[in-house]
A and B are shown apart, each in its own frame.
Chain A
């Protein structure tokens, strides 16, 4: 590699190539050269790689490939050493164990090399195989010689986060069903191709000569296994439907296939001299309809996985304090009233109340808020959240099924269960269509039976065959397949294809505020100072003090100081202390510094500046929270913090309003803040101060008022609402669970893609309608002809694929919608 970034003088990080912030001090001396890094993560990973003699990794990285900084190493991996926990993932043969690990951080072939090399150097590892496409490792190791946790830690050292994973469980039944469908499809395709040659021979004259019977028997030999193996799903569907007293699309297909096959077999076996065989029609029909079914299967909603992901958020073990001793017990063994120690970096296993200690807790999986929340004695903590920096002693108030997390899981499940099955346009017509076809065929048979039995049987059969369910069966799945494929290319991931139909009828949008319409990060919007004070000095000192605080406001002030490139880290800060809900206090250069609410300053007997107070009041009316600052006992500044609107939020809201769609802003935040955001967006209904559990009830109320509702959100607390809504749209930056619960995921966080998705859905619905119309038109022409016994087999064989092709071609036209869009 010629241009390796990260040598001194260039600005990229040696490991990942991201720009190195000036003033950052992450250097390492590697192989005699000084290298600089963007973050301590990259530095330690790179040092570990060189330490293990695996620096060949950097030569193997493809040119121009940007590595990402290493992911956070997974927490509490020691629990994977317990045999009970391993049982879920591992297959054993003696001491040798097999496991699949899901790995975060694999981006290129060089990673494969690094991981396999790195792991094989660990003691006890028999084999390590990386699957680059699926980002998985298949690992076999000797459990006597090494622990699983130390192998996972070895991976973390070279920059990969690995978690055990059960492929059977994760990929599940749906994928297996899809694969068996694919095998049937392959077989039908194989038989169809061979039968076409035989049919060509028959139609071009062999049906009269000496080979007539031979070709008939060949057709029989190919069509019989195809009907039994590839056609099995239709028979199962038809019989299942009949048992439930429903006429399904499978029924005419099954009857048509059976009658055609039986008639052809009859001609073959009796060596009849005039009749024709239709074995090619049998296989053709199976093949084409299976394609439709396969496409449909690809888009089936995976309802179970959202709940499974949620369950995985729960910690499996807890450290219980009994008689002054620490004891690790499984979470299900913890009772309310127990005392649990939560060490920094670990997940909170239970709901409880803090008794001792203070720490910042990352509650992003529950609330979607990115900044950790400070917890002191008396505060509540929730299961599934992550303790970031201090140890906490917690009295357990509820466990397992009674935690807030479990309640959210239950809400998701309920919402999934109660969601009405989407009635597809084709599905509503199908039973009637089937009934009419059966009646027509029966009528044809009895009318012609007065003349001749042979003719009657042929005419009735051709009615059943010609009533082409292929085009009808492919009208919906084909359009949805094309739309989903195109959507994915333009950053709209459609997980449940059928919602495209619902999305076109939507008349109410509900937006989550934090993280959806806004960026979800606090930032300093204004700094107001008294005329005498120097703005930059105040910001520098404030940032110096706030770097000891965990509050989200503190982060905003530090970020602002970094934007202005202020050198605040050299300022000496003494006697820092903070009071929750009020503010912080410290000493800089021998002068007291106070940062916090107005109340906080008054308590320290500081006279508030009238001018600043007036400005603060004005800013608060615009829903910005204000942090007051006092230097040397004088009130000198006010920092106004605001959550920034996303750039594309206003445009989207304006477009939706122009389209006459009602909108609601749904937020757990204070009413004033939500109101101000709504005002900035030109006004919309605001429902604020909503608890996470109540969000889906708001949606339900709207639905009961006859609205078709779209929910756009990203946090875990939005998950039940996303499922409840007719269409749930999640932003790509959201939590795993919200992504799983949504029907549509917008990649690269593009809020403007909401509009594109709506357009796509309208276009798709129009195409589906056109396709259904086309296939009906085909039937309207062909069925009467068949009933008059005017269809010859050749005409049937040609027109049937054409009707399918027309449907496919029409679906491909959806592409035109994206003509002016950038991928």
Chain B
């Protein structure tokens, strides 16, 4: 059972890393526009790039 001495702190640390990533993402503005980019990807504006 000694494994929990490393597993629990490890998982908690991982959780903290995810939390930090989330705060970074919010501050970056990743959640600013939830609609625009979702639709932008569907628009065919690559006609001139096609061979």
- Residues of chain A touching chain B, judged by Cβ–Cβ distance below 8 Å, are 56, 60, 109-110, 112-113, 117, 130-134, 179, 183, 186-187, 190, 194, 198, 211, 214, 218, 221-222
Contact of A132 with B4 at beta-carbon distance under 8 Å, contacts A60-B43, A109-B43 already known:
no
Q: Across the two chains, which residue of chain A brings its CB closest to B34?
A: A133
> Which B33-51 residues have a C-beta within 8 angstroms of A?
33-36, 39-40, 42-43, 45
Asked if A132 contacts B33 (CB within 8 A), the reply is yes
- Can you list 29 A-B contacts with CB-CB less than 8 angstroms, sorted by A residue number? A56-B45, A60-B43, A109-B36, A109-B39, A109-B42, A109-B43, A112-B39, A112-B40, A113-B45, A117-B45, A131-B32, A131-B33, A131-B36, A132-B39, A133-B34, A133-B35, A134-B33, A183-B26, A186-B19, A186-B22, A187-B19, A190-B19, A194-B15, A198-B8, A211-B1, A214-B5, A218-B12, A221-B9, A222-B12
Per the bound structure, the CA–CA distance linking A188 and B35 in Å amounts to: 29
Contact of A133 with B32 at beta-carbon distance under 8 Å, contacts A183-B23, A186-B19, A187-B19 already known:
yes
Asked if B36 contacts A132 (CB within 8 A), the reply is yes
CB distance from B9 to the nearest CB of A (A): 7
A113 to chain B: which residues have CB within 8 Å? 40, 43, 45
Asked if B45 contacts A130 (CB within 8 A), the reply is no
CB distance from A335 to the nearest CB of B (A): 45
Main secondary structure of the interface of A (DSSP, over half): helix
B32 to chain A: which residues have CB within 8 Å? 131, 133-134
- Residues of chain B touching chain A, judged by Cβ–Cβ distance below 8 Å, are 1, 4-5, 8-9, 12, 15-16, 19, 22-23, 26, 32-36, 39-40, 42-43, 45
CB distance from A120 to the nearest CB of B (A): 11
Asked if B12 contacts A221 (CB within 8 A), the reply is yes
Per the bound structure, the CA–CA distance linking A211 and B7 in Å amounts to: 13
B45 to chain A: which residues have CB within 8 Å? 56, 113, 117
B33 to chain A: which residues have CB within 8 Å? 131-134
A222 to chain B: which residues have CB within 8 Å? 12
Per the bound structure, the CA–CA distance linking A214 and B1 in Å amounts to: 12
B16 to chain A: which residues have CB within 8 Å? 190
A112 to chain B: which residues have CB within 8 Å? 36, 39-40
B34 to chain A: which residues have CB within 8 Å? 133
Per the bound structure, the CA–CA distance linking A112 and B33 in Å amounts to: 12
Contact of A179 with B26 at beta-carbon distance under 8 Å, contacts A112-B39, A133-B33 already known:
yes
CB distance from B47 to the nearest CB of A (A): 9
Asked if A130 contacts B4 (CB within 8 A), the reply is no
A117 to chain B: which residues have CB within 8 Å? 45
CB distance from A224 to the nearest CB of B (A): 13
Contact of A132 among B19, B26, B35 (CB under 8 A): B35
B4 to chain A: which residues have CB within 8 Å? 211, 214
CB distance from A205 to the nearest CB of B (A): 13
Per the bound structure, the CA–CA distance linking A363 and B8 in Å amounts to: 69
A187 to chain B: which residues have CB within 8 Å? 19
Known pairs A179-B26, A222-B12; list 15 more (Cβ under 8 Å).
A56-B45, A110-B43, A112-B39, A132-B33, A133-B33, A133-B35, A183-B26, A186-B19, A186-B23, A187-B19, A190-B19, A194-B15, A211-B1, A214-B4, A218-B8
CB distance from A513 to the nearest CB of B (A): 41
Asked if A194 contacts B12 (CB within 8 A), the reply is yes
Contact of A109 among B5, B12, B26, B35 (CB under 8 A): B35
Asked if B19 contacts A109 (CB within 8 A), the reply is no
CB distance from B24 to the nearest CB of A (A): 11
CB distance from B27 to the nearest CB of A (A): 9
The 7 A-B residue pairs with the shortest CB-CB distance in the complex, in nearest-first order: A109-B39, A132-B36, A131-B33, A132-B35, A133-B33, A133-B35, A113-B43
A183 to chain B: which residues have CB within 8 Å? 23, 26
CB distance from A109 to the nearest CB of B (A): 3
CB distance from B31 to the nearest CB of A (A): 10
Per the bound structure, the CA–CA distance linking A772 and B39 in Å amounts to: 46
Per the bound structure, the CA–CA distance linking A194 and B10 in Å amounts to: 12
Per the bound structure, the CA–CA distance linking A211 and B23 in Å amounts to: 33
